[in-house]
Structure 1
Amino acid sequence: MTLVVTDPHPVDRAGEILTPEALAFVEELHVRFAGTRAELLKARARKREHVALTGRLDFLPETAEIRDADWSVAVAPAALQDRRVEMTGPAAPAKMAINALNSGAKVWLADLEDASTPTWSNVVESILNLRDAADGTLKYTSPEGKEYALRTDAPLAVVVTRPRGWHMGERHLLIGGEHTIGALVDFGLHFFHTAKRLVANGQGPYYYLPKMESHLEARLWNEIFVFAQDYVGMPQGTVRATVLIETIPAAFEMDEILFELRDHASGLNAGRWDYLFSIIKYFRDAGASFVLPDRATIAMTAPFMRAYTELLVKTCHRRGAFAMGGMAAVIPNRREPDVTAQAFEKVRADKTREANDGFDGSWVAHPDLVPVCREVFDAVLGGRPNQLDRQRPEVSVTAEQLLDIRSAQGQVTEGGLRLNLYVAVAYTAVWISGNGAVAIHNLMEDAATAEISRSQVWQQIRNRSVLADTGRTVTRELVSAILAEETGKLRAEVGEDAFAKHYLPASKLIGGLCLSEDYTDFLTTPAYELVD
């Protein structure tokens, strides 16, 4: 075996996960699939360059036959038939994993991606927690002596694990001196240690697949699933995957993505921040017509966002796949009843829209919001487990509607600029400290929030946007000044030790990304270099 582990003991019991057999499987995944992944990342860049020249995206003419044909994905296993409420959150620490499993949600999205900083200890502890959860032995005792254990009085949430996106590397496992691929490390360790255990429990190895940009990337995942199932002697089709449609090119290939994964596909999910972030990234050279208004003002009811979600529901149900709604990021505050009441009201309105549109379920970021989401979907579903029977033949979405950014009807303001810089620094600071799920201003934020925040600032500088509330033009000088002011606010809030260790490096990173002439595709790539 040529795979090298730079730190074999990041957490207690790491040896139970980093076994020779598991590492051999991870290495075999890299031998077989790393080359294809590299080519697909190059294809992303080529397609983005083409879009920069043409200023548009469209549905692929070469796959029209797939879009027009009648076919369906495999019927969902019993454990995934009812997904009306999905709890999201990291798989480490163990306390958060236990709370998610005990939350009353139908599904727990165990996140190794945007809500988790990929410290080596987090990566290994997450797999360990998921393995223990599959065994029914996951438990935790706090320093104060409070014990956390898996409930036995009601069903636990079904686990659907989200590995890292294709772009992320893993520097603690090396092959030929090079970083391994984060997605293959996450999937490989998780599948090897939990797949058979989950099947024995009446479930299976189920996954959320993030950040994909084409059906060819879905094809690669399908090939990985086929190989993995053969490797452990498991029937084909045991693995199931739900794809996050959180990039603008993927929105034009929903049918094709499901088709490539059809023996393993479970559904598609509609994101928000990552989707908007992707629009900025893809059309960053397209001029002022693609400048988004303040992100907080862009509702899912904006016509271009509605086109995206309506197309997703129609595509999924036509193919027998589940349409999953996006994150309700607002969170309650048990010490502030007014904040909690507002959170419940916002979540209820958001989930009512989704349920009425035909979504089969949706995400929440806090256990207290599970009953709110469940109540909404219960009222629409009645005795049904899902809405697969609700077809949407009246929906017809064009490329122009998906790209009608001006339909957002908002403004660029200094208040929005300040918020973006504050949140980008605040989130990144906590991320590099080792925590990927961060509560900021009563919202549960993950990396997607920081991505769109810093991307909007970069876009506004490039287009010299005029701020509607102050009349000032967004320049590098203005952004530098406001960044210093917002960083100063954070310094006063967090204290000198935390500021020096995490917030100052985060501010320098965000400043560099926003002020650069060149656009960096992912904030988490340079931020990973700042993680201990």
Structure 2
Amino acid sequence: MSQQITHSPLDFTRQFSEQASSILTEPAIDFLADLVSQFAPVRQQLLTERRYIQSDIDAGKLPDFISETFSIRDTEWRIQNIPDDLLDRRVEITGPVERKMVINALNANVKVFMADFEDSLAPNWSKVIEGQVNLRDAVRGTISYTNEAGKIYQLKPDPAVLVCRVRGLHLPEKHVTWQGEPIPGGLFDFALYFFHNYRELLAKGSGPYFYLPKMQSYKEAQWWSQVFSFAEDSVGLPRGTIKATVLIETLPAVFQMDEILYHLREHIVGLNCGRWDYIFSYIKTLKNFGDRVLPDRQVVTMDQPFLSAYSRLLIKTCHRRGAFAMGGMAAFIPSKDPQRNAWVLNKVIKDKELEAANGHDGTWIAHPGLADTAMSVFSKALGSRPNQLDVTREEDAPIYAETLLTPCQGARTEEGMRANIRVAVQYIEAWISGNGCVPIYGLMEDAATAEISRTSIWQWIHHGKTLDDGQKVTKELFRQLLAEEMQVIQQELGDQRFCSGRFHEAAALMEKITTQDELIDFLTLPGYALLA
């Protein structure tokens, strides 16, 4: 059944529930329709341009800094301003927009909560609508949740600052169409969060703040800047009221950080090292280069030269322009086992100390249980300062393209390949079942880690690489290990959980996207077809 809005150019494929009707009001739909008709066609052009650029890379042209924007990189300018409630972002927690998680995240010992409609949310229709309801209630301070045992969750006074991460440019919202095509998921998320919440956010001294993921070029930054300006004009807000932080989590974007900051300068407050997606993008972008293949993902850590250069260049670029340079995700989950927990906290401390020493202004965690640990590391580094904008890294040697493109050394192992298979299958199964944020083997996994897992194996197969024990990585070897690891997953989870889940569908999708000759850009695109 579809829902027709009589005067709207948008078509909805679902009848509205009472909850959906409270979000998809006529004025909100009108605002969304205006944005879609204005900006969807250009978004399509930007996606086409991504494909052209990738085809050049596939043909042998390595990514590099771009000559036509040298004047932007070479002149002095700064971003417009940073609002008071974003000046201290030393620890940010991320998580999906589910009701209990929103409350726990806002109550955690952190400065910012990034509420996520993207990599940690499987975007079935009801979850996307519920997410908007949950954020609306959080902004108004009325959000509460009662679990099955009767425990009540409510907001504490002075919760974290709320920032909304919208879906990436590549992701559609298939339940809403315009001229017969699904609309951009990111515009759907942005329009509804902004429209329903900007007044209340501004009234309490905050504002409509966003995280923008998966950006690949300054032209995409320019598109978002125009979206923000259009939204501000449509409701009479001053230019620069909407603020965004951009994730630098694609290899093409690392070569355009100055340009991204420049084209969003009225609206941007910083860049973030989205490192897991960045590793995935490195593999995907350089997929045709047999001399740029990464080892086991456990070896690819932030102290490796190509990733260290990425972090340091981001800090230097941002601070020169008066923008924040946010650190990456600690995906660990605290453990009830004291010995394991001590190991986890030590890992997190070392990782965060490296980020703080490099000059990052803050960092990400995925679990409230790590908030105190991350907070203590950054508070020690910051002292009385709210951030590290004064760390310029001006004395650094220049970072050239080759440093960013040279892969790290390390073994490819059968155990690493098996671990990739187990993680990817379990994550895909959770995602197509409607859960985009999953604890697996002590890590909080989102789409990025599954992407690294499956693209690594694809690349090893594609280039006929061998494992450290001499086995050649082939489609046949992968299929054999996949069958064996399915049995391991069944043993670990038990027959009931395994048989009631969607593991066979997940394995079929994993097999398809890992063995086909053309690498699929994002597993969430074929995965979305399996979601309600």
Q: Which band: TM-score by shorter chain?
A: over 0.9
Tell me by how many angstroms 1:183 deviates.
0.6
Q: Which residue of 1 aligns with 2:478?
A: 479
Aligned CA distance change for structure 1 residues 151 and 37 (closer, same or farther; 3 Å): same
> Matches of 1:456 and 1:136 in 2, distance apart?
44
> Matches of 1:181 and 1:462 in 2, distance apart?
32
Helix, strand or coil at the partner of 2:502: helix
Write the mapping of 1:92-103 to structure 2, written as runs, cut at 5 A.
Answer: 92=98, 94-103=99-108
Tell me by how many angstroms 1:456 deviates.
0.4
> Matches of 1:207 and 1:27 in 2, distance apart?
20
Q: Which residue of 2 aligns with 1:391?
A: 392
> Matches of 1:271 and 1:140 in 2, distance apart?
31
Write the mapping of 1:343-382 to structure 2, written as runs, cut at 5 A.
Answer: 343-382=344-383
> Matches of 1:106 and 1:325 in 2, distance apart?
14
Amino acid at match of 2:211: Y
Write the mapping of 1:288-303 to structure 2, written as runs, cut at 5 A.
Answer: 289-303=291-305
Residue of structure 2 aligned with 1:5, choices 8, 12, 17: 12
Helix, strand or coil at the partner of 1:40: helix
> Matches of 1:286 and 1:356 in 2, distance apart?
33
> Matches of 1:439 and 1:316 in 2, distance apart?
33
Amino acid at match of 1:478: L
Write the mapping of 1:10-89 to structure 2, written as runs, cut at 5 A.
Answer: 13-89=19-95
Tell me by how many angstroms 1:286 deviates.
1.4
**Is this contact kept in 2: 1:207–1:241, CA < 8 A?**
yes
Helix, strand or coil at the partner of 1:145: coil
Tell me by how many angstroms 1:471 deviates.
1.6
**Is this contact kept in 2: 1:8–1:15, CA < 8 A?**
no
**Is this contact kept in 1: 2:326–2:362, CA < 8 A?**
yes
Residue of structure 2 aligned with 1:91, choices 88, 97, 114: 97
Of 232-241 and 507-516, the range deviating more from structure 2: 232-241
**Is this contact kept in 1: 2:294–2:409, CA < 8 A?**
no
Q: Which residue of 2 aligns with 1:524?
A: 524
Helix, strand or coil at the partner of 1:435: coil
Write the mapping of 1:174-193 to structure 2, written as runs, cut at 5 A.
Answer: 174-193=177-196
Helix, strand or coil at the partner of 1:13: helix
Amino acid at match of 1:116: L
Q: Which residue of 2 aligns with 1:198?
A: 201
In structure 2, the gaps of 5 or more residues are 1-7
Residue of structure 1 aligned with 2:146, choices 129, 133, 141: 141
> Matches of 1:520 and 1:494 in 2, distance apart?
31
> Matches of 1:304 and 1:237 in 2, distance apart?
34
Amino acid at match of 2:140: D
Residue of structure 2 aligned with 1:222, choices 201, 222, 225: 225
**Is this contact kept in 2: 1:55–1:286, CA < 8 A?**
no
**Is this contact kept in 2: 1:466–1:474, CA < 8 A?**
yes
Aligned CA distance change for structure 1 residues 28 and 499 (closer, same or farther; 3 Å): farther
Matched length? 523
Tell me by how many angstroms 1:174 deviates.
1.7
Tell me by how many angstroms 1:89 deviates.
0.4
Helix, strand or coil at the partner of 2:162: strand
**Is this contact kept in 1: 2:90–2:363, CA < 8 A?**
yes
> Matches of 1:285 and 1:498 in 2, distance apart?
36
> Matches of 2:186 and 2:486 in 1, distance apart?
33
> Matches of 2:440 and 2:270 in 1, distance apart?
30
> Matches of 1:264 and 1:495 in 2, distance apart?
51
Q: Which residue of 2 aligns with 1:320?
A: 322
Percent of aligned pairs sharing the same letter: 48
Q: Which residue of 2 aligns with 1:438?
A: 438
Tell me by how many angstroms 1:491 deviates.
2.5
Tell me by how many angstroms 1:13 deviates.
2.3
Write the mapping of 1:154-193 to structure 2, written as runs, cut at 5 A.
Answer: 155-193=158-196
**Is this contact kept in 2: 1:108–1:160, CA < 8 A?**
yes
1:221-241 CA distances to partner (integer Å, 9 max, x unpaired)?
000000001111111111111
Please give the TM-score of this superposition, normalised by the length of structure 2.
Answer: 0.97
RMSD over equivalenced CA pairs, Å = 1.1
Tell me by how many angstroms 1:14 deviates.
2.2
> Matches of 2:488 and 2:10 in 1, distance apart?
45
Write the mapping of 1:501-516 to structure 2, written as runs, cut at 5 A.
Answer: 501-516=501-516
Of 501-510 and 439-448, the range deviating more from structure 2: 501-510
Please give the TM-score of this superposition, normalised by the length of structure 1.
Answer: 0.97
Tell me by how many angstroms 1:75 deviates.
1.7
Amino acid at match of 1:273: W
Of 259-268 and 500-509, the range deviating more from structure 2: 500-509
In the TM superposition, structure 1's runs of 4+ consecutive aligned residues that sit over 4 Å from their partners are: none
**Is this contact kept in 1: 2:333–2:370, CA < 8 A?**
yes
Helix, strand or coil at the partner of 1:418: helix
Helix, strand or coil at the partner of 1:236: coil
Amino acid at match of 1:386: N
**Is this contact kept in 1: 2:117–2:189, CA < 8 A?**
yes
1:244 aligns with 2:244: no
Amino acid at match of 2:9: T
1:94-146 CA distances to partner (integer Å, 9 max, x unpaired)?
10000000002100011110011101111111111111011110001111111
1:190-213 CA distances to partner (integer Å, 9 max, x unpaired)?
111111111111110101100010
**Is this contact kept in 2: 1:8–1:18, CA < 8 A?**
no
1:268-305 CA distances to partner (integer Å, 9 max, x unpaired)?
00122211111111111112x11100011111010011
Helix, strand or coil at the partner of 1:390: coil
Amino acid at match of 2:118: E
**Is this contact kept in 2: 1:169–1:182, CA < 8 A?**
yes
Amino acid at match of 1:113: E
> Matches of 1:228 and 1:494 in 2, distance apart?
50
> Matches of 1:454 and 1:398 in 2, distance apart?
29
Amino acid at match of 1:384: R
Q: Which residue of 1 aligns with 2:449?
A: 449
In structure 1, the gaps of 5 or more residues are none
> Matches of 2:30 and 2:485 in 1, distance apart?
47
Amino acid at match of 1:236: R
**Is this contact kept in 1: 2:139–2:197, CA < 8 A?**
yes
Tell me by how many angstroms 1:4 deviates.
1.7
Helix, strand or coil at the partner of 2:258: helix
Amino acid at match of 2:362: G
Helix, strand or coil at the partner of 1:54: coil
> Matches of 1:521 and 1:211 in 2, distance apart?
12
1:117 aligns with 2:119: no
1:338 aligns with 2:339: yes
> Matches of 1:283 and 1:435 in 2, distance apart?
30
Helix, strand or coil at the partner of 1:76: coil
Q: Which residue of 1 aligns with 2:212?
A: 209
Q: Which residue of 2 aligns with 1:280?
A: 283
Tell me by how many angstroms 1:5 deviates.
1.9
Aligned CA distance change for structure 1 residues 456 and 231 (closer, same or farther; 3 Å): same
> Matches of 2:137 and 2:243 in 1, distance apart?
21
